[in-house]
Structure 1
Amino acid sequence: MVDVIKKGALLLMNQKCYDNYFLEYNFLDVSCFKALLSKGLGIGIIAGSVLVKVPQVLKILNSKSGEGINLMGVMLDLLAITFHMSYNFMNGYPFSSWGDNTFLAIQTVAIAALVLYFGGRKPHAFIFVVAYAILLYILNSGLTSMKVLFAIQSCNIPILLVGKLSQAVTNYRAGSTGQLSAATVIMMFAGSVARIFTSIQETGDTMIIITFVASTFANGVIFSQLLYYWNKPVGGAVKRDAPKVKKVKTKKDD
């Protein structure tokens, strides 16, 4: 039983921290606490990412519409997620620091394909899925050099900003957040905030840290719009009573 507990604990911490907590009962080691917190957050984010965009997918399926969803923003978001995933995977960083991107990529592909499908472009939806599978193979099979992966990872910041903020512009013009799922928006914002800490703790990669700072800002803009447009209908149309026209009295009325 002790061996099972030790193996489970070593998934969350190194041998030094295990000794501190379970042998020396030293629970005040700051570095071990930060490492454990980071690992726990990372696993929690990965677990949450399995369902983070499912509410968005279900909302599109139920309404059979992608109204209010900026397709260009979704595509750019998918590129940023994919580049980040491939860069971390090929660098050999811990899965707990980037694994959520795997599930986010799958769900974002589903969203993009559904928007195309319900937008009357069914062949384009199929072609898009096939093209994305080919891109994944190219990036993660060793065909792409690390220099190129670093370059495309550095492009993630403008890609994220343009992708997310284009959705924000769409929301502003529509006067609502359309078919955007509140649960998805909230979880994306919270996850990007947590990823700043886990990236600092587990990778120390400045490029990745800056990327998540930019992601947090962009997700924060959409989150604030979600709160602002909370009770407003899709399309921003607000019914108002027609203004009363004052009748002008004429001689015939006398």
Structure 2
Amino acid sequence: MATSPMALMKEFLLMYFMPETCYDEFFLNFNFLHVQCLKIVLSKGLGFGIILGSVMVKLPQVCKLIGAKSAEGLSFNAVLLELFAITGTMAYCIAHKFPFSSWGEALFLMLQTVTIGFLIQHYRANTAGGVGFLAAYFPLSLLLLSPFTPLSVLTVMQASNMPAVIVGRLIQAGTNYRNGHTGQLSAISVFLLFAGSLARIFTSLQETGDSLMALTYVISSCCNGLIAGQVVYYWNRTPAVKKKKE
């Protein structure tokens, strides 16, 4: 027998957005103001929204680098620290079997951040260094994501995310300040990262109950807010065009 549309909808909602008790509250008891169930649905919706947004969040940055054929204003060290934080969070969440909706954006951010790291090296005439960076990162990340890495190591990495995020953002902020502009930094990517980290504070508390993850996103939001503030402050300032030698 063919499955009815209502049964398919119920299966979809139970799989991705709510437990059966909340389904009963909403669709059997018509209690649409059940606070705990509303929080669950909001958290799941935000989580999947962040994941969908993360597929494109750094593409403007990648496109800006390729279009300008320049990595001026971007710090490779800041990218490395950001990559450390993203990879640590992803490995920590997988090890704890947290739902994909609570961390899925880390996968897409990791792939885009790796691409940015390679492009920075490439446009600084160090393509070999960029290839070496890729060759070192992917085997190491696979090791961290494997069962061979002790949970204690991943917990230390997650705790280290906070100083890594702070130092990484301060390096980028310092680069912006010294240059007097934000160079090839994409405003769209910066603002999307800021909004995403703010939303993740709520979803991490709601879906994982892990205070360490929530605190990491609080710190990340503050640091992303600093960079976003610089983007606004330096909005009309652009890198000086170098005069061609006659």
Residue matched to 2:131: 126
Higher Rg: 1
Residue matched to 1:251: none
Distance across 1 between alignment mates of 2:129 and 2:147: 28
Distance across 1 between alignment mates of 2:237 and 2:127: 31
Letter of the structure 2 residue corresponding to residue 18 of structure 1 = Y
For these two proteins, the number of residue pairs brought into alignment is 237
Residue matched to 1:151: 156
Residue matched to 2:201: 196
What are structure 1's unaligned runs of at least 5 residues? 238-254
Distance across 1 between alignment mates of 2:238 and 2:73: 11
TM value normalised by structure 2: 0.95
Letter of the structure 2 residue corresponding to residue 62 of structure 1 = G
Residue matched to 1:242: none
Distance across 2 between alignment mates of 1:127 and 1:235: 31
Residue matched to 2:27: 22
Q: Is residue 215 from structure 1 mapped to residue 230 from structure 2 by the alignment?
A: no
Residue matched to 2:168: 163
- Secondary structure of the 2:217 match is helix
Q: Is the CA contact 1:55–1:181 (under 8 Å) kept in the aligned structure 2?
A: yes
Distance across 1 between alignment mates of 2:164 and 2:133: 19
Q: Which 4+ runs in 1 deviate beyond 2 A?
A: none
1:108-147 per-residue CA deviation (whole Å, 9 max, x = no partner) reads 0000000001111111111111111111111011121001
**Counterpart pick for 2:13 among 2, 9, 30:** 9
Cα 1:20–1:137 change in 2 (3 A) is same
Cα 1:53–1:97 change in 2 (3 A) is same
1:1-22 per-residue CA deviation (whole Å, 9 max, x = no partner) reads 1111101211200000000011
Distance across 1 between alignment mates of 2:240 and 2:57: 25
Distance across 2 between alignment mates of 1:235 and 1:222: 21
Superposition pairs for residues 222-237 of structure 1, below 5 Å? Answer: 222-235=227-240
Identity among equivalent pairs (%) = 47
1:235 is displaced (CA, Å) by: 4.9
Distance across 2 between alignment mates of 1:102 and 1:31: 29
1:236 is displaced (CA, Å) by: 10
Residue matched to 1:241: none
CA RMSD between the two structures: 1.2
Residue matched to 1:240: none
